[in-house]
Amino acid sequence: MLLFSASAGYSAFQPEIKLKWTRLRTSILQGNHEYKENFMFETVKNYLMLTKPTIMLLVIITGATALFMEGSMLSDPFGFALVLFSLYLTGGSANALNQYFERHIDARMTRTSGRRPLPQQKISAFGALVFSVAIGIVGVLIFGFVFNLLTALLSLATILFYSLFYTLLLKPNTPHNIVIGGIAGAMAPVGAWTAATGHFETAPWILFLIVFLWTPPHFWALALFYKEDYVKARLPMMPVIRGEALTLRQIFIYSIFLVISTVLLFFSGAGWLYLVTSLVLGARFIFKAHKAMVTRGEKNFRSLFGYSIVYLFALFFMIVVDGLVRKNLFL
């Protein structure tokens, strides 16, 4: 009688037990699915971080500005986008290889140890190397087969120059590493222009010069308030080797030459709106560089660094706006 009673009780609760088990199983499966989705998202994010997306935004904007100035691809949106995509692949490859080679240095620096995926061991070094090489090859091949050999060779040279010559030879050995290494970061306008035309012209080289002269003040301002990081990493950055005073004088000198270089674009097709805006933005840049040189202090270094980013984006934005105004109003 007792056994029958227990059996009857179990039968009564069996539907509820099945329901709870079904819910538990569904919850586990859903949790596993969410985990897989999160894992995939984080993996993609970590590999994307190897390309240094914030730096690549600058590359894309300078490249797009060159394409806009040249003009022939404005009627070919797919080609326009493909050039920028290929610029991202080749530039991202150079940045990713840089992170691969500097992963042990990045682990010693406060600025990079908690932000970059390799020091945090979120992805493997081998995976990073394969990814870096793969996207570089794809980018170079697109330039070579869809556009022209000149652009393919330029992009390949940029990858090798930045990832090998700058990262392995210049950066650990000379305080002028940023100056020389800036060649790679400034090549996007030239590469975009040659992709569209197949040859060199003056205008993209002026854009190159602007980015090239902008690079030392921008990165030396950063190095000034991360000086101890570079000491720990044993990297001979200008503030570490030559001191704060000389670095600030160099920043001031470069800022003057930068503003002068922006005027050159006026004599290569830009209009009065661009000229006036570039002089106003440039005057502010020189003022901040001078203030940092005279008063010093981390607050002024950070202010100069922050403005340098705003300055370059605003300058290239105004190149496009100036072009639109002149086309629409025939100025």
**pLDDT tier at 231 (50, 70, 90 boundaries)?**
confident
pLDDT tens digits, one per residue of 145-183: 999 999 999 999 999 999 999 999 999 899 888 999 899
Q: Which range, 20-34, 111-125, 149-163, is most confident?
A: 149-163
Mean pLDDT, residues 116-131:
92
**pLDDT tier at 16 (50, 70, 90 boundaries)?**
low
The rounded Cα 61 to chain-centroid distance in angstroms is: 11
Q: Is the pLDDT of residue 26 over 80?
A: no
Q: What is the pLDDT of residue 3?
A: 40
Burial 286-325 (b: 16+ CB within 10 A, else e): eebbbebbeeeeeebbeebbebbeebbebbbebbeebbeb
Q: What is the pLDDT of residue 22?
A: 63
Name every residue whose Cβ is closer than 8 Å to that of residue 17 and which is 6 or more positions away in sequence: none
Mean pLDDT, residues 185-192:
96
% of the chain at pLDDT higher than 70: 88
What is the C-alpha to C-alpha distance for residues 163 and 95, in angstroms, rounded to an integer?
Answer: 7
Q: Which range, 25-34, 222-231, 310-319, is most confident?
A: 310-319
Helix (H, G, I), strand (E, B) or coil at 209: helix
Q: Which long-range contacts (CB under 8 A, 24 or more apart) does 116-124 make?
A: 116/49, 116/50, 117/46, 117/47, 117/49, 117/50, 118/50, 122/42, 122/46, 123/43, 123/46, 123/47, 123/50
**pLDDT tier at 2 (50, 70, 90 boundaries)?**
very low
Q: What is the pLDDT of residue 112?
A: 86
Q: What is the pLDDT of residue 204?
A: 95
**pLDDT tier at 310 (50, 70, 90 boundaries)?**
very high
Q: Is the pLDDT of residue 34 over 80?
A: no
What is the C-alpha to C-alpha distance for residues 123 and 43, in angstroms, rounded to an integer?
Answer: 8
Q: What is the pLDDT of residue 37?
A: 60
**pLDDT tier at 268 (50, 70, 90 boundaries)?**
confident
Q: What is the pLDDT of residue 27?
A: 56
Q: Is the pLDDT of residue 246 over 60?
A: yes
Q: Is the pLDDT of residue 12 over 70?
A: no
Mean pLDDT, residues 218-224:
93
Q: Where are the beta strands (DSSP E) in 159-275?
A: none
DSSP state of 199: S
Mean pLDDT, residues 102-125:
89
What is the C-alpha to C-alpha distance for residues 91 and 116, in angstroms, rounded to an integer?
Answer: 17
State the chain's mean pLDDT as an integer: 88
Closest CA to 155 of 66, 89, 65: 89
Mean pLDDT, residues 274-287:
96
Amino acid at 45: K
Q: Is the pLDDT of residue 100 over 80?
A: yes
Least confident residue range of 20-29, 183-192, 253-262: 20-29
Report pTM: 0.86
More confident residue, 73 or 26: 73
Q: Is the pLDDT of residue 197 over 70?
A: yes
